[in-house]
Amino acid sequence: MARSFSKGDPGRVAYVNARLIDPWHGRDEPGALLTEGNRIAQIGPGLFSDGVPDGIGTVDCGGRILAPGLIDIRAFLGEPGYEHKETLATGTEAAAVGGVTTVICLPGTDPVIDDAALVEYIERRAREDAVVRVHPMGALTKGIEGREMTEMGLLAEAGAVAFTDGDRAVADAQLMRRALAYASGLGLLIVQHVEEAALAGTGCMNEGELALRLGLPGIPAAAEVIVLERDLRLVELTGGRYHAACVSTAESVACLANAKTRGLPVSAGVASHHFALNEIAVGEYRTFAKTSPPLRGEEDRQALIGAMRDGTIDVIVSDHCPQDQESKRQPFIQAANGIAGLETMLPLALELHHNGSLPLMRVLEMMTASPARLLELDVGRLEAGAPADLVVIDLDTPWRLSEEGLVAKSKNTPFDGRPVQGRAVRTVVAGHTVYEFSPRV
């Protein structure tokens, strides 16, 4: 069970016999780390070579990886309004189990996080109930209805770290242009769900041969690319910072690569299920594999991995979208989109290292330094003075993901029974151990 980090002084703790990996500084070496209160005090290969002094607590990492705590910049945490699907308490417990120490939550709650009072409410509730750090994104438009811009400046002052309409794309090009121009003047980040709603229509999976065979309406890759290409033109007009959330197609990768070559201030994320699965996971109408954007073809999946390797895609996200049983146990067309991903993001990402697709440093960079830099967060690195947000990772032990093993309130996962290798075994937030793995006897 995860524990709160918000009370008490954790004192001084030495993490010894560790493999220190810090993508922010390019560090990968054996060594030790000392935390004092909620900050890192010292770090290095020779630290405690003569033993740990009396009065300092000790955690023996046993040669395992000690890295900055993971940062997930796209998760839905339920509160307020959808507590039957997830809460700040249960969602952040799941995050701690997954080695995630900072969660950026989406604004599509009830009511929508579209004014400063709601931002402050989320931060207050997180201080009371969350076991990891939580920061909200603010809504880009009022009520996420795509008609009128929110007061982004006021929302940012209250603590919103970026602006998005969650799983809805802003369809109005003039509105998006104004939003990017306004955000540019304040240095704010606009996050877009890249899907043209009218073209996606009633589609519920990737358009193609499999959808035809299953008799299901498809969502073409063009629905993603049309919005992305339009927005990139608007970025060129305005100079606004723009992030494409959860890209899923090879065509999107090509568009993003071109934009980056031209020096546009753009970035992109990929959900762990989009590089771990393809459309075949839908199988015989498996609603747990229904996502937005949909799982795509194998060529798209491979293109995403290539884009992660070369830096075209910047961050890995869980796209945690909890759904209760009633929402998923429906005919495929009617079932809700989404996967419970906070606990599976790390082991799925480690697959990319184990199968040789990506270097381990790059895998961890996309869940630590890259999201921290993107949102200008004071986390995501191992250095003296930095927050003591850490994860100890067992890189090699094999195990199986299971639906019943998830601690999230909703357990909608297509990964039940999937063999994986590696997991978080200790999660530390502000110097406090909030999760420690205990093998079942």
Active site members: 319
Residue among 298, 302, 328 at smallest CA distance from 313 = 302
The two tokens of residue 435 are 């999760």
In the block, tokens 């994986």 appear at 420
How many Å apart are CA 186 and CA 155, to the nearest integer? 12
Tell which residue, 427, 294, 391, has the closest CA to residue 18.
391
CA pair distance 379, 161, nearest whole angstrom: 14
d(CA 74, CA 57): 34
Strands (E), 209-279: 218-219, 241-245, 266-271
Q: For residues 289 and 332, what is the distance between their CA atoms, to the nearest angstrom? A: 10
- Of 426, 390, 438, 424, give the one whose Cα is nearest residue 101: 390
Q: Any idea what DSSP says for residue 177?
A: H
Of 348, 216, 220, nearest to 272 (Cα)?
A: 348
Alpha carbon distances (Å) from 185 to 170, 178, 438:
20, 11, 49
